[in-house]
Chain A
Amino acid sequence: MNAKQMMITSSAAAILFVLLTIVISKDMGIALRTSFMLLAIFIFPVFLLPKSWTLTEKLALGPGITIAILVLLAYGTSTILHLPLTPGTSMTLVTLTIAAVSGIGIMLNTIQQNKK
């Protein structure tokens, strides 16, 4: 799948997520923020995980890896750093999680290339 196809897929997913969350929450602001969160969990990892994995594998593995990093970071933030889990901290953790997933993808791609 090339970059153009990925853009189309993620845009379609974003629209579906917005529609779904509007139907459930009946609030546009909440729907947009929720769609971003759902994209971060379900779709962004597709762009970030190693190229050698198939799209189905990225879709299947991405959310589990993202949720694991996010919650473990939150655990560390609350129990080790003793920082409050405010909406701001939570948003920072989501951003850090996306960066971490991206880092994992780059690292695995590099390992793959070195093997070749």
Chain B
Amino acid sequence: MDTENLFKRVIFVFALLILFLVLFIPHDHAKMPMHVDSWIHLTIAKEIADQRQITDTCPYQFMQTCPYPHGFHVFAALFTNVTGFPLHLLELLLVPLLFVLLGLLNFCIAKELFESEEVAFLSMIFTLLVIGNMTIIGPLYFVPQTLAFILLWTAWLLFLKKQYLLACLPFGLIIVTHRSTLVLGFFLLCANLLPLLLEKRSIKQSVMMSLIPLTILGLIALAYRKTIIPVLQYALISPIETPQQFLPQMVSWTFVVIALLGLIAMALLRNKVRWMFLPLLGFLIIDYVLFHLTGYGYGILYRRLVFFIIMFLPFMVGRGVMLLQETAEHLFKREWIKTYQIVLFVLMIVLIPKALSINLSTMPSSVWVTPQEHQLWSAFAVQHEGAELLTDHLEAYALPYYGLQPLQTSPMHLAGGYNDFLRFPYYYQNETQLIPFFKQHPHAYLYYSTPFNSSAFEPVMNRSSLGIYRFKEGSS
């Protein structure tokens, strides 16, 4: 460790502990995956673990081929194969650990870029600003994007350390892990090559160095061309996506202003960072502003764009806070301001709790599947393997994990089989509409988490207020 004394080490470990606990406590409280997307990917991972091979089929009722690359699922399947660890608990175990790792990577990358331990530490602690909510399926959940960003940041740090060949390993895995992160990866690679090419003395070396990873990437891209073409269709030629959330509403104006100060500091003060960050962040920010002004984006889907900007936010905020300290030193010219870094200290006391509160406020307060539902569905699936079950349209996405078939699926999650008819009758427990449906599906079952009294349905399995019901034949 580079930190020089015990106090710095204790603060460093304490900061890592905060990063761990900020995700561990809510996940431990929930006990189950916290987002419907986690269930989708865990189910695919379970399919790979059960089949013991990488398959292209998706264990959903309406999907023939899987729309996702499998890198993340293979990792989860391998992990559970070796350890026997239940897949649905992996989110609780790995997400907080990967968040700590993201903080460490932010520290090392910022140290390489800014050559300052203070900025590096600030970038690490402001990893707290990397939040997750409905539109940003980020490090809060166990989804491919979480792993892909760890891989991308690893590749970036290796690139900064001039380990070009080694950088190809994590970069190669991003190709088969997450498509839009790969798009950002290409932008990031170009942004990193720019300063190398601008160093006149090393142009030949830089070109050679950039050719090696690009060639290898090209070969990998050829090998996985089935993945690359959807990448281009999905992300580069992006469909219009209306902006849903305004960045300052998500991370507050305070951090947006400090981040812009950081960006100004990068533009004015450091050549190495200037040529790396400005074209990339400039592109992302201009695209973001254009989205808000015109409703059109150029190159990246809006929700990914917000997430990409948020991933760079710790560096910008870290540099911005340091700029305020440097400005105070310059303006007031008092020795004690410089010696004790008093402005930095005060800002940290104010801003770290604020970042923490922003992170916590974006945590979901409920889970799609509770531990009690997990127990009930597991027990039901043992006796009725492959049975059709009508649940809430988002809970339905967890059903294939238990080997059960959903009868309605979410309209937001790619499935073409969303049964619009079932949504409201299900919510309002409307028998007159449910009964004709169950007459057409006499072998299907009905699940409710609240008490359901009906002469047309009889309970098959109960756990406190939760119940699975069967349609009584002959009911009208």
* Residue from A61, A74, A86 with most neighbouring chain B CB atoms (10 Å): A61
A30 to B86 CA separation, bound complex (whole angstroms): 9
Instruction: Flag whether B23 is at the interface (Cβ < 8 A).
Output: no
Which one of B28, B101, B153, B170 contacts A68 once the chains associate, using CB atoms below 8 Å?
B170
Q: How large is the interface on A (under 10, 10 to 19, 20 to 34, 35 or more residues)?
A: 35 or more
Instruction: Flag whether B84 is at the interface (Cβ < 8 A).
Output: yes
Question: Could you list which residues of chain B lie within 8 angstroms of chain A, going by C-beta atoms?
Answer: 1-2, 28, 48-49, 52-54, 70-71, 74-75, 77-79, 81-86, 89, 92-93, 97, 101, 104-105, 107-108, 147, 150-151, 153-155, 157-158, 161, 163, 166, 169-170, 172-173, 176-177
Task: Answer whether A67 and B1 are a contact pair too, CB < 8 Å, given A30-B84, A56-B107.
Answer: no
A10 CB contacts on chain B under 8 angstroms = none
* Residue from B54, B83, B147, B166 with most neighbouring chain A CB atoms (10 Å): B83
Task: Answer whether A85 and B85 are a contact pair too, CB < 8 Å, given A1-B1, A54-B2.
Answer: no
A-B contact pairs, 16 of them (CB 8 A): A20-B93, A30-B84, A30-B85, A33-B84, A38-B97, A54-B2, A60-B157, A67-B173, A68-B154, A71-B71, A71-B75, A74-B74, A75-B71, A78-B54, A104-B166, A108-B163
A60 to B108 CA separation, bound complex (whole angstroms): 7
**Complex: chain A residue closest to B78, CB-CB:** A90
Contact A72 B173 (CB under 8 A): yes
Which one of A25, A42, A82 contacts B97 once the chains associate, using CB atoms below 8 Å?
A42
Contact A60 B107 (CB under 8 A): yes
Contact B169 A84 (CB under 8 A): no
Which one of A36, A55, A56, A70 contacts B78 once the chains associate, using CB atoms below 8 Å?
A70
Task: Answer whether A37 and B83 are a contact pair too, CB < 8 Å, given A63-B150, A64-B154.
Answer: yes
Contact B75 A94 (CB under 8 A): no
**Complex: chain A residue closest to B70, CB-CB:** A75
Task: Answer whether A70 and B81 are a contact pair too, CB < 8 Å, given A60-B107, A64-B170, A84-B53.
Answer: no
Task: Answer whether A57 and B173 are a contact pair too, CB < 8 Å, given A37-B82, A38-B97, A91-B82.
Answer: no
A91 CB contacts on chain B under 8 angstroms = 82
B53 CB contacts on chain A under 8 angstroms = 78, 82, 84-85
A30 to B75 CA separation, bound complex (whole angstroms): 17
Does more than half of chain B's interface fall in helix, strand or loop, or is it mixed? Answer: helix
B105 CB contacts on chain A under 8 angstroms = 60-61, 64
A36 to B83 CA separation, bound complex (whole angstroms): 8
Question: Could you list which residues of chain A lie within 8 angstroms of chain B, going by C-beta atoms?
Answer: 1, 20-21, 23-25, 29-30, 33-34, 36-38, 42, 53-57, 59-61, 63-65, 67-72, 74-75, 78-79, 82, 84-87, 90-91, 93-94, 104, 108
Which one of A60, A63, A82, A85 contacts B77 once the chains associate, using CB atoms below 8 Å?
A85
Contact B54 A37 (CB under 8 A): no
Contact B176 A75 (CB under 8 A): yes
Contact A54 B82 (CB under 8 A): no
Task: Answer whether A29 and B82 are a contact pair too, CB < 8 Å, given A61-B108, A65-B166, A69-B169.
Answer: no
- Distance to closest chain A CB from B55 (angstroms): 9
**Complex: chain B residue closest to A33, CB-CB:** B83
**Complex: chain A residue closest to B120, CB-CB:** A56
Task: Answer whether A24 and B89 are a contact pair too, CB < 8 Å, given A29-B84, A65-B169.
Answer: yes
Task: Answer whether A60 and B104 are a contact pair too, CB < 8 Å, given A25-B85, A30-B85.
Answer: yes
Contact B92 A24 (CB under 8 A): yes
A36 to B150 CA separation, bound complex (whole angstroms): 21
Contact A71 B157 (CB under 8 A): no
A59 CB contacts on chain B under 8 angstroms = 104
B169 CB contacts on chain A under 8 angstroms = 65, 68-69, 72
Task: Answer whether A61 and B85 are a contact pair too, CB < 8 Å, given A42-B97, A71-B74, A75-B54.
Answer: no
A107 to B370 CA separation, bound complex (whole angstroms): 49
Task: Answer whether A25 and B89 are a contact pair too, CB < 8 Å, given A1-B1, A61-B108.
Answer: yes
Which one of B54, B71, B85, B155 contacts A21 once the chains associate, using CB atoms below 8 Å?
B85
A34 CB contacts on chain B under 8 angstroms = 83, 85, 93
Task: Answer whether A67 and B97 are a contact pair too, CB < 8 Å, given A56-B1, A61-B154.
Answer: no
Which one of B74, B84, B166 contacts A75 once the chains associate, using CB atoms below 8 Å?
B74
A71 to B108 CA separation, bound complex (whole angstroms): 24
- Distance to closest chain B CB from A105 (angstroms): 11
- Distance to closest chain B CB from A33 (angstroms): 4
Task: Answer whether A54 and B74 are a contact pair too, CB < 8 Å, given A30-B83, A69-B169, A90-B82.
Answer: no
A55 CB contacts on chain B under 8 angstroms = 1
A1 to B84 CA separation, bound complex (whole angstroms): 34
A108 to B167 CA separation, bound complex (whole angstroms): 13
B52 CB contacts on chain A under 8 angstroms = 84-86
- Distance to closest chain A CB from B371 (angstroms): 12
B163 CB contacts on chain A under 8 angstroms = 108
**Complex: chain B residue closest to A50, CB-CB:** B163
Which one of B54, B150, B154, B172 contacts A79 once the chains associate, using CB atoms below 8 Å?
B54
A74 CB contacts on chain B under 8 angstroms = 54, 74, 78
Contact A72 B172 (CB under 8 A): yes
- Distance to closest chain B CB from A25 (angstroms): 6
**Complex: chain B residue closest to A34, CB-CB:** B83
